[in-house]
Amino acid sequence: MSGRGETGAQEERARRTFVAIELPDPVRRALAEVAGELRRQWPGGSVRWVRPEGTHLTLRFLGDTDPHQVEELADGLARAAAAHQPMDLSLGAVGAFPNRRRPRVIWVGVKQGGGELAALQRAIEELARDRGWKAEFQAFVPHLTLGRVKPRTRPPAEWGIEVPASSFRAGAVALMESLLKPTGAEYIQVFSAALGGPRAGPAAH
């Protein structure tokens, strides 16, 4: 195969995407402090902790996405975002999936007012279904992942921390791409859409 053909194939590869709200730096720092305290409570190496810069409020994981679908997703995301106003959110308590006694994912919850975040997530879910993704039947639990517990790890008898008060305004939603690398996942913003406003445009690279 020629070099040109390889380049073309590379350009047409599926992109691993998700829709999320990005966090301001103060919230990332607050989450890093919480994760640092939890890290001291768990046995060394028992949890894969998420880097603060890699933390997002995920609204819909899409997975492998055909490059030709990206523009359609961006257009639909812009329309969905324009129909919802910016919203004030705050950090909640530490939690875990499936539960704190058998944790596999450790997270901090997100508080919301008046159901705005849930309504936005439903619009994103509808967009995904309209574009060919299978319906997501699990209830939406707004959360920010701190770490993933390795298999066969027994949790400490007592673990947890009171999350410091931290609030932020969500003003946009983004289509993100996840690049899996040996050093961990790297996230790139593909497109951003302002809540209650016009299309914000593609992210600069």
Domain containing residue 130: 15-196
Average pLDDT across the chain, whole number: 89
In a domain, residue 205? The reply is no
The pTM for the full model equals 0.86
Tell me the per-residue pLDDT of 45-100, one tens digit each, with 9 for 90 and over: 999 999 888 899 999 999 999 988 898 999 999 999 999 999 999 999 999 999 99
As for how many domains the chain has, the answer is: 1
In a domain, residue 3? The reply is no
- Res 204 pLDDT > 70: no
In a domain, residue 135? The reply is yes
- Specify the higher pLDDT residue, 11 or 145: 145
The CATH number of the domain holding residue 118 is: 3.90.1140.10
In a domain, residue 175? The reply is yes
Q: Tokens 């790890």 belong to which residue?
A: 153
Edge to edge, the sheet with strand 105-111 lists 47-49, 143-149, 105-111, 87-97, 167-170
In a domain, residue 2? The reply is no
Residue 32's contacts (CB-CB under 8 Å, 6 or more residues apart) are 52
In a domain, residue 129? The reply is yes
pLDDT at 7: 40
In a domain, residue 9? The reply is no
